[in-house]
Structure 1
């Protein structure tokens, strides 16, 4: 499975092609799905560009995106509960409880303060949880001993630039080793699927490794603005098409 991440923390200051509004996100999502993406991830934004968990921001984004990705039957539209959207853990929980339209799957950064309470609030509302475990953090260790861990649907293994020590593939292998993920076994020992991704210079090497392992992979303007040859991507669809072509020729 190849996921596309439409925007993340990027904005027009990073690239004019980063989608921001619900309408532009939906258009970008539809083109990425047409290019071959199997799942679409998004960071809902306020009109001024700030990532937000407000129901007034989330609901319009989901309303636009769901029809746009309908070509991929049953595919969820993951969103994030990162501290960048709401720094205060208690406020994050309040936001979740105030949602009028529920997302299909929500990513929780396990190393952030209040992650357990956020997971509990999501599960109470019947929302699926993805455990985001970052390299260079204590997220994997906290996840291993976390009571809510068995209730998540998937693990997102994120190799950050700060946690790669100049070798993103080695950092990815080290992170995956904490889950005992081996070639031909793209799931945790207790059955949770794993999606692996890198960022910036590490985006393409980590995508290559994910595909070699048979794990889920992701690409998109959240992770990189560049195609494998170093040229600027014109859209999320460009990155998806490049990732699929890269898979055919580079693995």
Structure 2
């Protein structure tokens, strides 16, 4: 299974086809689903292009996607740094309706963040699935010490240069997976920036679900800037196997 991560926290100027508005996100979703993506992960934005957890912005983005691509599964972010503090973040998430009322199908919760368990609880109460984002071995240990491994719909092992320890994405991913142990939920493994393609190819060969998109990288394995999210997904699905473990040009942070 491949998830397309369409925009992330990228500045709108980061790429000429970074989808920011609800309509642009919906059109990007149509492209990646046609290319073979199973679901999309998006960071809703406000009218100025800034990430937002405000219910109106979340519903506008989710609604635009569903109008154009009715059957795709939609994940949104809850990351720290969008709201001013945990209190505001919790209030925003609590206002989200479930998918039957126009809300997202699921949302990512980064388990190293202080409010993770409370955010996950609010999502579950509202009928929204939880994807547990695990960036470090320490976060994996904290996650498995709770009863949440049996309540999430997916575990995202996310290795990010500058956040996950290690100079090599594959080594970093293996360390996080070792700390996670046997998972009760499906596991998706991905890297960002310079680690995106090496980790994706390794994860494909190892039998894990993967993700790719302009949130994770702006470039193809050759180092050429990707035209859009669709080209990244198509490339990921084109040769999911014997690619090299290092790539010649890193994606800029």
Structure 2: unaligned runs, 5 residues or longer: 245-253
Verify: 1:92 aligned to 2:89, yes or no.
Answer: yes
- Map of 1:7 onto structure 2: 7
Q: Which of structure 1's runs of 4+ aligned residues deviate more than 6 A?
A: none
**Superposed displacement of residue 250, structure 1:** 2.9
- Of 197, 212, 215, which residue of structure 2 is paired with 1:219? 212
TM-score calculated relative to the size of structure 1: 0.90
**C-alpha distance in 2, partners of 1:96/1:166?**
35
Matches within 5 A, 1:1-150: 1-70=1-70, 73=71, 75-100=72-97, 101-135=102-136, 138-150=138-150
**C-alpha distance in 2, partners of 1:167/1:230?**
18
Give the number of equivalent residue pairs. Answer: 239
- Of 185, 194, 202, which residue of structure 1 is paired with 2:187? 194
What are the Cα deviations for residues 55-77 of structure 1, in whole angstroms up to 9, with x where unaligned? 1101110111123333xx4x420
Q: Secondary structure at the match of 1:78?
A: strand
Structure 1: unaligned runs, 5 residues or longer: 182-187
Matches within 5 A, 1:144-163: 144-162=144-162, 163=164
TM-score calculated relative to the size of structure 2: 0.89
**C-alpha distance in 2, partners of 1:87/1:131?**
22
**Superposed displacement of residue 93, structure 1:** 1.7
Structure 1 vs Structure 2 CA RMSD: 1.7
Q: Is the 8 A contact 2:106 2:129 kept in 1?
A: yes
**C-alpha distance in 2, partners of 1:166/1:221?**
22
Call closer, same or farther: CA 1:79–1:130 in 2, change over 3 Å: same
**C-alpha distance in 1, partners of 2:154/2:232?**
23
- Map of 1:250 onto structure 2: 243
